Amino acid sequence: MSGDQMRAARFHEYGAPDVLVVDQVPRPEPKEGEVLIRVHAAGVNPIDWKLRAGYLKEFMPVQLPYTPGYDLAGTVERVGPGVTEFTPGQAVFGRGMGAYAEYAMAPATALAPKPDNTSFDEATTIAIGGVTAWAGLFDAANLQAGQRLLVQGAAGGTGSYAVQLGNWKGAYVIGTASSGNVEFVRSLGANEIVDYTTTAVEEAVSGVDVVLDTVGGEVMDRSWSLLQPNGILVEVAGMPDEEAARQRGVRTSGVQAPPEISGILRQLAALIQSGAVKTEVGAAFPLDQAAQAHALSETGHGRGRIVLHIAD
């Protein structure tokens, strides 16, 4: 392979996981404000397979062939003009473009130095899951100490961060999880766990100030009754229904991460460095098995973030 080429997992058409193939493609070059990362690990997020399956093509059209992947962790290979805060060889993590590859681009404003106490695989779980949880809890819901927080899907890539951040903030945290993940969610600092395989959450929970829903669908529909008056349902996996919220005397919001996330990433890194927040890798696959990683992600069950381990 020549020096300006790299391997990347991409899809040439919309379809099932097996449309993901590994191709040899040109290595990108950083432009103004960008950083070229030698990718050690990439996170596998639900949006990746929803893009690949074509579910989002009306709202988020992509140019085919397309290399998925936003979460990444690796080392700085080269910086573009105007980038002064990062240097070649530095270990970083954050949100980039086309992360299912040996090299990927990221805006400098979406990167932060990797915490010393995390591996690259662990660090690649932070950007989407951690920033989504942060923006949902603190920007959308304005979560305060002493409030009651319910995290729907508390063992997942976003939910696991939401439980820990709620606990760090001083909220009373309730999480939903399957039987096999109850103890894991408890280890994250949840005050109460509802095993949704044995108990309907509405039978066990009521009067919460904030619901952060990472599941969507029926789970979102069943979340309204759990809120106290003027409580807020923050929707990660679906579209917030303003009319339904008004009818029930509650509020709702989606999650909108700020365009520049480096500040949040640095705060999350500090919490991880201190031990207040921990990362969780659910399963790791090599780049050649990106299709298997997508198939697992599509099940909607599991613990932590699925990652592609691309380089040591």
Residue 272 located in a structural domain:
no
Residue 293 located in a structural domain:
yes
Same domain flag for 246 and 140: yes
The pLDDT value given to residue 304: 84
Number of domains in the chain: 2
Contact 236, 132 (CB under 8 A): yes
The pLDDT value given to residue 68: 98
Distance of CA 211 to the CA centre of its chain: 17
Instruction: Categorise residue 142: left if φ over 0, alpha if ψ from -120 to 50, beta otherwise.
Output: left
Please tell me which residue, 1 or 11, carries the higher pLDDT value: 11
The pLDDT value given to residue 263: 97
* Whether residue 207 has pLDDT greater than 90: yes
Same domain flag for 80 and 52: yes
Residue 153 located in a structural domain:
yes
Average pLDDT over residues 16-35: 97
Same domain flag for 185 and 244: yes
Same domain flag for 163 and 106: no
pTM of the model: 0.93
Same domain flag for 26 and 86: yes
Same domain flag for 26 and 122: yes
Looking up residue 205, the CATH number of its domain turns out to be 3.40.50.720
Residue 266 located in a structural domain:
no
- Of 214, 236, 253, the residue that ends a domain is 253
- The CA–CA distances, whole Å, from 26 to 4, 12, 106, 157, 216 equal 6, 16, 16, 31, 38
Confidence category of residue 303, pLDDT binned at 50, 70, 90: confident
* Whether residue 302 has pLDDT greater than 90: no
Residue 270 located in a structural domain:
no
Residue 268 located in a structural domain:
no
Residues 6+ apart with CB under 8 A from 61: none
Same domain flag for 111 and 134: no
In a 3-state reduction of DSSP, which class is residue 176?
strand
The pLDDT value given to residue 238: 85
The pLDDT value given to residue 3: 64
Amino acid letter for position 123: A
pLDDT in tens, 101-143: 999 999 999 999 999 999 999 999 999 999 999 999 999 999 9
In a 3-state reduction of DSSP, which class is residue 114?
coil
Looking up residue 46, the CATH number of its domain turns out to be 3.90.180.10
Contact 14, 53 (CB under 8 A): yes
CA dist 189 and 214 (Å) reads 18
Share of the chain above pLDDT 90, in %: 93
Confidence category of residue 300, pLDDT binned at 50, 70, 90: confident
* Whether residue 1 has pLDDT greater than 50: no
pLDDT in tens, 41-73: 999 999 999 999 999 999 899 999 999 999 999
Same domain flag for 139 and 109: no
Average pLDDT over residues 12-34: 97
Q: Could you identify the residue written with the tokens 């009306």? A: 58
Same domain flag for 148 and 199: yes
Same domain flag for 107 and 184: no
Average pLDDT over residues 276-283: 93
Domain around 111? 5-126+279-309
Same domain flag for 105 and 94: yes
Same domain flag for 10 and 86: yes
Average pLDDT over residues 151-163: 95
Residue 273 located in a structural domain:
no
Report how many helices (DSSP H) and strands (DSSP E) the chain contains, helices first. 10, 15
CA dist 107 and 234 (Å) reads 27
Residue 264 located in a structural domain:
no
